[in-house]
Amino acid sequence: MKTALLFAGQGAQAVGMGRELAALSPTAQARFEEANRILGYDLRQIAFEGPEDELTRTENAQPAIYLVSWVAMELLREQVPSLTFEATAGLSLGEFTALAAAGAMTFEDGLKVVRARGRFMHEACEATRGGMAAIIGLDEGPTREVCEATGVTLANLNCPGQIVISGEAERIPAAVEAAKAKGARKAIPLTVAGAYHSPLMRSAQPLLAAELQKISIQAPRVPVIANVTARPHGTPAEIIQLLVDQVTHPVRWEDSIRTLIAQGFTRFIELGPGTALSGFMKRIDKTVTVLNVADAASLEAARAALAESCEVKPVSAER
């Protein structure tokens, strides 16, 4: 069974995330402490205790999700020592976690970059008036027509029947009404800071490119599917370019998952807060196996599910 690890993106954050995982292992506790040292502020406190408005700030949400996702991966591998994976993918921010998990960058470098990325994107949001909306029950073709007619862009192609559009805030209401007129079951404006994955984020790109040039990037040990192309990343230079492009391009998540399924992947493990990626998977292909690790209960469930095919540690050794 070929296994791919999937990593959560921004929007999955919730106050308290990672707290149960940290309590399970000294390794996890040490990782949170390390993150605080690297960043120079108490990210652990923000993730565990909030307040919510502080956690949802882009420059905090992105490194916090990256950190919790990494800890979830480490704990699963600690409890299932023989678990192997043959590819990774991540939604938007999660693409950085996926690259780090595949050895293309270190944990520390990835954490620093996503913190900076979050800050650059926050600044881009403040400099523009952007908005987003979820379009439910409308195919990609008609949604593209809506975008062309109203001057907005595709932002996330998540799964069949769920697409997110992005653009200038004053254009979103017209796009929502146009989508409904095209037959969308729902078209819902989202409460977001700006127009992510749209040209309004362009000012963040050169800043992110400069930040990526500061770190060492290697060819990944296993394929990592790029959001922009829905194909595996290539050379370090190509990785940098695709990560920069991703800021203003749509996330082709459904196509990314279909690429992996076409390559024979039948088991997917979502790592990090929330279960959004597992939900998308059910809409993309119900025949594959999907596990997730977000807290103590889901870690135990994943461990039990993997027991049939992998070596796992005895329950008594986990607490």
Cite the active site residues: 92, 197
**Are 189 and 133 a contacting pair, CB within 8 Å?**
yes
Which residues, 6 or more positions from 165, have their beta carbon under 8 angstroms from its beta carbon? Answer: 132, 133, 135, 143, 146, 147, 152, 153, 154, 155, 172, 175, 179
Buried b (16+ CB within 10 A) or exposed e, 186-198: ebeeeebbbbbbb
Both tokens of 138, joined, read 């409308």
Buried b (16+ CB within 10 A) or exposed e, 277-311: bbbbbeebbeebebbbbbbbebbeebbebbeeebe
Radius of gyration of the chain (CA): 19
Both tokens of 39, joined, read 């960043």
